[in-house]
């Protein structure tokens, strides 16, 4: 049997391994092996992105959602959720503040809210791009038709985040109601790539019913998709969902997977997520040291941040945008990396 270090070296070289070896990589790490994985992951990310960490200004503009996903705190059936929508002017105010703080990507994230029609989304995107032509706009608003995605792209949207959550049909059914399908989720991702977006997918680590074999299916699906962005974070339960009381995903499992993903996807933009910072005080810093190269401070108005709760215990809900920005910069600098004021686009693979 190969050692963990041998598997890491092979993954770094080939960017894929046989299924049984990927399973072996997902558990049973000792401290020395972990450090070797993270060292190799940092080496790979620095070969492409240097010491730069990119900021994304997150604007959570609506917590209405038509879906009823079993893990999500803003699911349709949660009668305790305090619903809100930001106006176009409020969204633009967030961008204005963010631009002054050095953000050059704005991420518009929300539930699948029918109030925000295609025309409304296009109007918002067009105005952001008109005011800030040097900035990227990322959308994260769920499953839409091909034509809707194309309209958003034509309006100026650059990137789209759509976590696939799991590539295993059985596991997908455990996490979602029957109205949703893994087949459609995957098709949305393929549509986004075809249209020309920089595309992000990803999953929760340690979600109910997840097995190592399912995570390997995620890795193999992503190897096929070749996403530009990969967002992962530990599962954290929300008290007003069917998964209330379920144990959270672990810091270690998430960091191992971050390191593995960096070796598999040297050019990917991979965030150290807020969920990582929620389960451990230094979670985001540890994520950066495991291969992540993006952080997403919150630009949403303080009065609504505590209402956009996908899981319990979310950090930074009471901080002003400037506080988030400066706090994150200090944290990043402590890791030996630095904030880069730039759009932070996906760097295409060099053809030698």
With a cut of 80, say whether residue 344 has pLDDT above it.
yes
**CA–CA distance, 276 with 284 (Å, rounded to integer):** 6
With a cut of 70, say whether residue 350 has pLDDT above it.
no
Confidence of residue 212 (pLDDT cuts 50, 70, 90): very high
**CA–CA distance, 140 with 163 (Å, rounded to integer):** 9
Identify the pLDDT of residue 320.
84
R_g of the chain computed on alpha carbons: 19
Identify the pLDDT of residue 207.
98
Identify the pLDDT of residue 1.
86
**CA–CA distance, 125 with 93 (Å, rounded to integer):** 14
Q: How much is the average pLDDT of 39-48?
A: 98
Give the angle 184-185-186 at the CA atoms, nearest 5°.
Answer: 90
Q: How much is the average pLDDT of 156-166?
A: 98
- pLDDT digits over 290-331, tens only? 999 999 999 999 999 999 999 999 998 888 888 899 999 999
Cβ atoms of 321 and 309 within 8 Å: the answer is no
Sheet containing strand 52-55, edge to edge, reads 294-295, 52-55, 338-340
With a cut of 50, say whether residue 351 has pLDDT above it.
no
Question: What's the pTM value of the predicted model, to 2 decimals?
Answer: 0.97
Average pLDDT taken over every residue of the chain? 96
Cβ atoms of 82 and 240 within 8 Å: the answer is no
Cα distances from 120 to residues 87, 96, 108, 346, in angstroms, run 10, 19, 13, 27
Identify the pLDDT of residue 318.
86
Q: Which residues of 47-69 are buried (b: 16+ CB within 10 A; e: fewer)?
A: ebbeebbbbbbbbbbbbbbebbb
With a cut of 50, say whether residue 352 has pLDDT above it.
no
Q: Which residues of 222-250 are buried (b: 16+ CB within 10 A; e: fewer)?
A: beebebbbbbbbbbbbbebbbbeebebbe
Identify the pLDDT of residue 199.
98
Cβ atoms of 158 and 136 within 8 Å: the answer is yes
- pLDDT digits over 60-79, tens only? 999 999 999 999 999 999 99
- pLDDT digits over 218-235, tens only? 999 999 999 999 999 999
Q: How much is the average pLDDT of 162-179?
A: 98
- pLDDT digits over 100-151, tens only? 999 999 999 999 999 999 999 999 999 999 999 999 999 999 999 999 999 9
Identify the pLDDT of residue 219.
98
């Amino acid at each position: 049997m190969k050692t963990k270090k041998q598997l890491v070296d092979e993954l770094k070289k080939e960017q894929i391994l046989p299924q049984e070896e990927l399973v072996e990589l997902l558990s049973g790490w000792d401290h020395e092996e972990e450090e070797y994985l993270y060292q190799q992951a940092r080496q790979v990310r620095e070969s492409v992105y240097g010491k730069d960490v990119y900021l994304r200004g997150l604007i959570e503009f609506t917590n209405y959602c038509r879906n009823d996903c079993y893990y999500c705190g803003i699911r349709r059936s949660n009668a305790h959720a305090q619903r809100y929508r930001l106006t176009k002017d409020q969204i633009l105010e967030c961008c204005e503040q963010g631009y002054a703080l050095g953000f050059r990507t704005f991420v518009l994230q929300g539930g699948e809210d029918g109030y925000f029609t295609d025309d409304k989304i296009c109007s918002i995107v067009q105005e952001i791009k008109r005011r800030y032509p040097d900035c990227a706009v990322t959308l994260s608003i769920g499953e839409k038709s091909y034509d809707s995605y194309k309209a958003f792209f034509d309006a100026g949207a650059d990137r789209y985040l759509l976590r696939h959550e799991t590539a295993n049909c059985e596991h997908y059914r455990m996490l979602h109601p029957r109205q949703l399908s893994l087949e459609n989720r995957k098709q949305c991702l393929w549509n986004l790539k075809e249209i020309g977006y920089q595309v992000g997918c990803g999953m929760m680590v340690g979600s109910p019913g997840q097995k190592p074999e399912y995570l390997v299916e995620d890795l193999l699906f992503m190897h096929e998709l070749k996403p530009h962005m990969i967002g992962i974070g530990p599962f954290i339960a929300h008290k007003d969902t069917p998964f209330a009381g379920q144990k959270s995903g672990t810091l270690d499992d998430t960091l191992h997977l971050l390191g593995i993903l960096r070796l598999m996807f040297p050019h990917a933009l991979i965030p150290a997520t807020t969920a990582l910072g929620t389960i451990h005080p230094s979670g985001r810093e540890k994520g950066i040291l495991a291969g992540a190269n993006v952080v997403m401070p919150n630009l949403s108005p303080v009065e609504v941040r505590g209402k956009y709760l996908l899981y319990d215990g979310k950090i930074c809900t009471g901080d002003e945008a400037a506080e988030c920005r400066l706090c994150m910069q200090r944290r990043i600098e402590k890791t030996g990396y630095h904030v880069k004021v730039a759009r932070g686009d996906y760097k295409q693979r060099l053809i030698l």
